[in-house]
Structure 1
Amino acid sequence: MAVAGVTGVLVFQGVTGNADAPAGAEGTTGPVSTRGQTAPLTASTDGRSASLARRETEPFSMLGVTWTDPTARVKGTVEVRTRAVGSGKWSSWLRLDGDSGQGERGAARGGTEPAWVGPSDGVEARMTSAGKTSAGLPAGLRLDMVDPGKGSVKSMTPAAFAVEGTEEPTPSGTESTDPGPDATGTPETPATGEPTSEPPTSTPDTGTEPPTTTPSTSASPTDGPTDGPTGTATPTTSPSPSATTLPPAPPSTAPRPPITSRAGWGADESISPEEPGYLPGGKIKAVVVHHTAESNTYTCADAPAVVRGIYAYHVKQLGWKDIGYNFLVDKCGTVYEGRKGGVDQPVQGAHAYGFNSETTGISVLGTYTDAAPSQAAMVSVARIAAWKLGQYGVDPAGTTTLTAGDAGTNFFGKSWAKGAQLSFPVIHGHRDGYNTQCPGNAFYPQLATLRTWAGGPVAGLTVKSVTGAGLSGTTYYTKSRVTVGWSATTPASLIKQYELLVDGKPAVTVAGTATSASATLAAGTHTVAVRATHVSGKKTTSAAKTVVAETTAPTFTTKPALALRTGTVNTTAVPVTLSWKAADNKALKEVRLTAPAAKTYGPTVTSAAHTAKSGVATAWNMTAYDQAGNTAGGSVTATPVILQETSATRSGTWTSKSSTSYLGGKSLSSSSKNASLTWTFTGRSATWVVSRAATSGQAYIYVDGVKTATVDLKSGTTKYRDAIWTKTWATSGKHTVKVVVVGTSGRPTLTTDGLVYLK
């Protein structure tokens, strides 16, 4: 269905098929038809606003607003909203970037940047001038809509690349000579060749006469800058060479990234049959970074269609000879060849008004006013910049001087005259050389990162780990082999290689995608670092780490030993203390108990509380580790033995008591002064086990006939099986322990539950 008031339906080529083939699938896509349709905006009586009422349209996915004078700029607000195919849902208002940058000499129209809106079949538009009362909108305003088409057809060789001496293909139909949308609003002829039945649409009356421009086609050698008034280079001596006479492309210091060719994204070469142009000086001095100022909601499968839409908009709607950008990058990082002429050649684009003749243009699909581009897109932009600038020995992190092809003003209010010599960062934003927001407020601050990534050296290089070694303070210790891990903020695809340096000399060289490497060290103290080489050849070295290689094992200066301790005694859990001392000639790391339980102790710990089963000989095995991983073992074996009170030799009066709370269910109690119990055993540690209460009295303890302690059994809470007193000897031997009732006034009673010793 035709749009009411449409100036014509532009059928760019009648080939259909699948437009969503993978962007990088070379040979699976070819020239894909695109179709345009236009609708005039109605201007207000004061010429300061214009609109297009909501209406249905033929399907489209990209749009822009254009006007008659290609040199005119819109100072104001341009907004559109669209209806989605299928759901019928209308979008919110989308603001279009003010203008496309006056990119091409001989352009038929001026216009906003195109916006990708996805498959749509309805549209509404409105414009408002931001100028003073006397500054209205340009004449000939219309909405241009592009269907990027679908297709999977054989590749077609661009006419500009035809081999000399062979006949160039002549596209059929009227499209071969179609100069683009008619600047005066004259209806265009459909692909059928039949005249349109729709009446001509007059240019909206804005109160001003559209200016008449006659683009210059030549310039004398003394005309100064090679950029003409619309930003396209005019050779100073002879036309740009054709593709068949180009010198070989210079090699680059950086590798070429993967690039989807024009055939890969389905470029219909018949709509731009002109040969490409090349930079007059033959050298790229700078990279201008752009965004395409459209929605970020496209999918990566949509990206080839987005590129086709931009191509069709630039060529058929604005009347440019080809897409303006040299390269385009989608949010998944796929790179697309833009303007034809050879990606490795200094092709002159139409992307930076006044500075096209010394630069190449890279545009990221999407709008980056509020959100920065994806890392994948940033990496690809840096890789293209590094490769292209590397062909001409230009430092991406440096500055350069460009000659202004025309007077201009940039986004920051800086103005210059034609021929001015201006300093720019080698990688800079479109706004640096033109009054536009491009590449967006969120993208522009990221240009510093792009310069670092593209120009090197590798940034953020840090050793993150040294495995196979232990760390003590700031020194690592290993037996011999270590694996060093690192990280860098520069993306791996921009890093040529890493070297693992030992004492300043390369020990191992690995790829730029690696994050670790291993080396075997001789005995002694070494420095270990990582050196990264950027694709530009610049090198950077991380801070060094000190690594000591040694194979001397630690020692137990005091072998593991076991002793009884105070606490509650059970037949399955007798309180014991395990003690030891370990040392190392370099750095002790830890001591591990491996049996009968698993525990790990720090290098300064020399004892630990445990429990052991009574009547069972238990081996306590320990291993000392130094920071290098060298080890030494030590162990002790002991058996806790419970001697019931009934096994003691008694004197005086003792009463037997029964309770499940006592060891073995029984105990002996006495309040008779000087009543005693004596146990005889062979061992190296002993502990007396009692029951305690608030009325419990005191006892004297004699060891091997010598009084050694007075023990008070009084306790604020009742306790059973309480090991209250211990004694340990340096070696195992035969000993006697005698307990005597003191007969404490008011609380003379003792209740004893036996004796435990270690053998």
Structure 2
Amino acid sequence: MVLLLAVITALSAAPALAGGAFTMTAACQATAARLPAPEGVGAVRYGRYYLVSWKAVESPEVAGYNVYRSYLPYPLLSSMVKVNPRPVRGTSFLDTTLTDYWRIQYYWVAAVDCGNRLGALGGPATVNPLLPDCTPPEPPRNLEAGALEVGVSLTWEASNREPDFAGYHVYLEDECGRPARLTCQPVKGGFFYSTRGGAGSFFQVRSVDTSGNLSSPVRAQAVTLPEEVLDFPDPAANQDERVVYKGLWVNEHYRPEEGLDLLEGDMVTSVYPLDGGECDPPSVKVTFQGRSVKLVAARFWQCGWCEIFLDGRSVGRINLSSDEPLSRCTLYATYCLPPGTHTLKVVNLGIPGNPEMPFDVVNVDYLVIR
């Protein structure tokens, strides 16, 4: 009864206009005399949050804005809750504090000056009881699908800024154009590698929010990315700034009848320092742009162990030793690189591949980059 009486008293204290609307109280009018009310106050729901926006007040005295929430549809400051901890500099504010989703509520906005004096209250923007969120996010843009030797690399512009944005889902179309989702969880960025599909396959990407609303799909057909074959240059005459040798590396030539079928008939080999001094072990590092890389080398009985690093992280140790000479062996390959600059480094570990023989040769023939 006390609460009901208080509400009735508040309603009766507010002067009414024709049709039941309320005017601003005298106390509010006195407070609001300095600055005009912001116009265009609105509230848009994003999941369980509300983005309140308004038009800027054209006055040099404006230092910011306060945002208020109330259960009453008229500007009574004593019934309002200020939802911003400090004056808002811009013309929008995301309210994450609303909890009574089942009640109609109202947002008001007032400009404040440098003395923290309030201007007139603008609004209200009405927030209706919580209903299912059916507003989808904006779709992604500029989808590209590049077919690799294995799989497809997809990129798009990840430009969504909705407060309830969750990520992106990726789909592969079947022969009838029906999409099958490839992502278990939404992808946060603008890159996805699919082991399924190839050149000619059609892919879709859709934005999704925390309520499960999906944007309209964007669609792209996979095209084969151009291939670059990087033949490791002669260390003694290297002019390629992308390739950096350290330690002892030499260029060796072989004819096919000698048992090795090499690209351009040569390969670059290294031997670990015999004295095991303080010098760094032989290594070669290549900086490249691409979404996939494959390292090709020869294997023979004089080879030893090497370690491979991708973007500074070890991806494995490999024994190149083989009783029979083997040409064009894939030592390492990856097809899921995000677009950008990457490095591949091969280090001679100085460990013989055959414990019964004191040989630790490590060689590299060429790289395949897409």
Q: TM-score scaled to structure 1, two decimals?
A: 0.19
Instruction: Kindly indicate whether structure 1 or structure 2 has the higher relative contact order, using CA contacts under 8 Å at least 6 residues apart.
Output: 2
Higher strand proportion: 2
Q: TM-score scaled to structure 2, two decimals?
A: 0.37
Return the index of the structure with the highest Cα Rg.
1
